[in-house]
Amino acid sequence: MTDPIFRLIKNTNTIDEAYDIFNGTERVGFIYLRWNLIYAKYPDADGLVVYSEYAKGYNPRVATQRDYYLRHALFNILQYMKGEHILPHKATGVQYTVES
């Protein structure tokens, strides 16, 4: 089975970033990013926290920083979807697209 390419649909127009995460048409997660707080939940905003990070110095306007944290959050959602143990800091192969 190949890993999915997640669709991230931004659900806020404020400085905070919040995304509903989809695998095809199925909602599989939620990610919230704000200056120093990043977390992901499975399978939606009311679900289980599968990734949480205090990111001192995080600036959401720096694309490489946003990408780093999105990939780690998505990797943990993917691991949880597969029923596997969550492995910290092993997220380089996760793929995604962002929609507004």
- Number of other residues whose CB lies within 10 A of the CB of residue 14: 7
pTM, two decimal places: 0.80
Tell me what pLDDT residue 25 has.
Answer: 94
Contacts of 91 (CB under 8 A, 6+ apart): 71, 72, 74, 75, 76
> Do residues 83 and 50 touch, judged by C-beta distance below 8 A?
no
User: Which residues of the chain have a pLDDT value below 50?
Assistant: none
Tell me what pLDDT residue 69 has.
Answer: 87
Sign of the alpha-carbon dihedral angle for 7, 97, 42, 75: positive
Tell me what pLDDT residue 20 has.
Answer: 95
Tell me what pLDDT residue 93 has.
Answer: 62
Contacts of 54 (CB under 8 A, 6+ apart): 36, 37
Tell me what pLDDT residue 32 has.
Answer: 92
Give CA–CA dist 94/70, Å, rounded: 9
